[in-house]
Amino acid sequence: MSDSPVRPVASSGTFAIGGDLPVHRLGYGAMQITGPGVWGEPRDRGEAVRVLRRAVELGVTLIDTADSYGPFVSEDLIAEALHPYPDDLVIATKGGFTRTGPGEWVPLGRPEYLRQCVEMSLRRLRLERIDLYQLHRIDPEVPLDEQLGVLRDMRDEGKIRHIGLSEVTVDELEQARRHVPIVSVQNLYNLTNRQSQDVLERCDAEGIAFIPWFPLATGKLAEPGGKLAEAARRHDATPAQLALAWLLHRSPVMLPIPGTSKVGHLEDNAAAASVSLSGDEVAELEKLA
């Protein structure tokens, strides 16, 4: 008799980031395990630790965080909850913002600052190498080759395995790829906001992971009696689960990272991996928005 745990997230399929980092496609975003305004400690630190541990139990093998979440709180919690890490767990983190207060984010891409960001994330996460390090924002005041150059140097030093970007246009992605291989893009994208559709299409064509942040924004579509709510009922699912399922069916390079600070919500999100949609249903949901 097998005692292996049920890992529903495995049903989301697998994608190899950079060609050599296989992850289950439904991941977890660790921004919400901090305080209000993504600032300070969570209201319930014990629950935050339970969420992280439960995510791994459910089959999550991609956790996305950033040094600016807290700041520093999210990375500290991940290490507290999960170190020593499972062999198949990929922790992606980001740098390139400074925090001046709750809800305040200021890009800073000077090479010496980005080097410090990487070194401090390594220390907080208790890692010798960060599997996926993403430039949180391109700083318009610093030449792009300088921002990516220091990350490339740290990759060559063995401190970063792969480099990604966040909130970029197609042109910015292509400019960056002239300086260093880019294996992931993390842009705002969900059922009701598809302004990054052209970026997704480029990532799809090039085999670049596309990590949509804020994947559960469904707005009025999810209200009782709304079209998304009706479609969810037909699938015996919640509107949030259907919105995540739509993302997973939208592209094989899509790696949604829904975040939550509650174990119950996490388990509900994980169930989205098992929601099956036909091509017609994917198109129908797309038209709803």
Concerning whether 69 is annotated as a catalytic residue, the answer is: yes
Which residue(s) pair with 185 in the sheet?
A: 165, 210
- Answer for the pair 143, 112: CB distance below 8 angstroms, yes or no: no
Other Cβ atoms within 10 Å of 106 Cβ, number: 12
Burial of 241 (0-12, 13-18, 19+ CB in 10 A): buried
3-state percent breakdown (helix, strand, coil) of the chain, nearest 5: 45, 20, 40
Other Cβ atoms within 10 Å of 233 Cβ, number: 12
Closest CA to 11 of 196, 263, 283, 244: 244
* Residues making up the chain, counted from first to last: 289
Q: What kind and span of H or E run contains 243?
A: helix 239-250
How many whole angstroms separate alpha carbon 255 and alpha carbon 212? Answer: 7
How many whole angstroms separate alpha carbon 92 and alpha carbon 184? Answer: 10
Other Cβ atoms within 10 Å of 167 Cβ, number: 17
How many whole angstroms separate alpha carbon 123 and alpha carbon 256? Answer: 27
- Answer for the pair 130, 89: CB distance below 8 angstroms, yes or no: no
How many whole angstroms separate alpha carbon 3 and alpha carbon 97? Answer: 44
Catalytic residue among 28, 69, 133, 189: 69
Q: So which residues are the catalytic ones? A: 69
